[in-house]
Amino acid sequence: MARLYIARTQAKRLSPTELAEAAVMADLAVGVVIIARLTPFAYLTTVLGAIPFAVLAMRHRRHVLVVSFWISVILAFLLTGFAAATQVLVMAIFGGVSGRAYAHGWGGFRTSVAAIAFGWTVVTALSLGILVAFSGFRRLNLEAAAIQWTGSSRVLHRVGLGSAAEFLDPIVVWSIENWYLSLPASQLVFSVIVAFLISRIGGPTIKRVDRSVRTEPSKRPIPSPESVAAVQTATGFVAVTGPNGAGKSTLLRAVAVAEPGVLGERGGIAWIGQRPDNQILGTRVLDDLAWGLKPVPELETLRSTLEAVGLAGFDQRETDTLSGGEQQRLAIAAALIRNPTLLLSDETTAMLDPDGRELVRDALRAASDSGINVIHATHLESDIASADRQIQIGPVTP
């Protein structure tokens, strides 16, 4: 029984690819809904937000769709409120039902009926329940609807459609006052329109995306277990060399995650990349150096670490005023403050001028001299000459 439970639990876990696609599709759907809400008369374009969910439903198991659904609803609620979250909910239901239906070979009519029946029932019941239970929340959303109509009415008057605005105005006012009747009716009409548009527009799009998107093996060089082990056990200041595209960065990434839970921890593995601005989080040098450390090191420890990389007196400097070489040395200091046993440097000197390159190289050498094993991926002769030893790699055919 225990083995069966463990197997089921592992089967429910999302792979990194599934989780990434769920997050990206959720962001895309929320973006479509928000743009549609901010654009007058673009309400029906929210139907495009159903397509990401339909693609997930066709290409992945239900757990991926559920995760993407929760990500999108929470994100929409945090960004714009209940109304947008409800629209995302509708799109997720219609997209999910449509995607599963197309995956099972259902026709357009059968898919539309299923989406309307399920989507309209769930969304209407949920919306009415929330609006009845929370009077203040209901008032806020009804006022927002009135404001949105006021803006749309002004646009109609400006484009010469004032008569249409005057005709629609009492209908909108009645709908807002009698929301408990207009909401189910409008949701039903909207559900029918969405189902029709998905069957006409979304269906062919979903099928075309499903045919064109495939998960294929990477064509990049794949590090062998032997090369990963060679880097893990290397000592001193080691240069990993090879031509562009040989897989130097890939090898260092493999080493960084070879032991889960070690990267970024005190006494573990530290990583520095080509672009230090992507690694700097604090607005001041001292803040960035202490970022994420608990407990925060003593001030003298922080300053001595800065001094070790040639940044003495920089503790109060704004990080956005530093040069590229200074930012790179700050990234090295942020790695050293964690007392790593292994420091991975992924071509950190490649984008610097000669003076900045020499200073960064000196900082890496100082780290190595202090007892930290430094692995520096590079193709520069000056970097190779300063290393204790060299590991040369080339393209590896998987």
Residue type, 59: R
Residues paired with 272 in a beta bridge? 345
| pTM, entire model | 0.50
DSSP 8-state assignment for residue 318: B
> What is the chain's Cα-based Rg?
29
Nearest to residue 276, comparing CAs of 326, 318, 314?
A: 326
Give pLDDT tens digits along the chain (398 positions): 434 333 344 456 777 778 888 888 888 888 888 887 777 555 566 777 777 888 888 778 888 888 888 888 888 888 877 777 877 877 888 778 777 777 777 766 777 777 777 777 887 888 888 888 888 888 888 888 888 888 888 888 888 888 888 888 888 889 888 888 888 888 788 777 777 766 666 556 555 655 555 555 556 666 667 777 777 778 889 888 887 777 888 888 888 887 777 777 788 888 888 887 788 888 888 888 888 777 888 888 888 888 888 888 888 888 888 888 888 888 888 888 888 888 888 888 887 888 888 888 888 888 888 888 888 888 888 888 888 888 888 654 44
> To 10 degrees, what angle do helices 248-256 and 225-232 make?
70
Token couple for 245: 């595209």
Taking residue 78's Cβ as centre, other Cβ atoms within 10 Å add up to 11
Helix, strand or coil for residue 215?
coil
59-63: long-range contacts, CB 8 A cutoff, minimum separation 24: 59/21, 59/210, 59/213, 60/18, 60/21, 60/22, 63/12, 63/14, 63/18
Structural domains in the chain, sorted by start: 11-212 (1.10.1760.20), 225-392 (3.40.50.300)
Taking residue 247's Cβ as centre, other Cβ atoms within 10 Å add up to 23
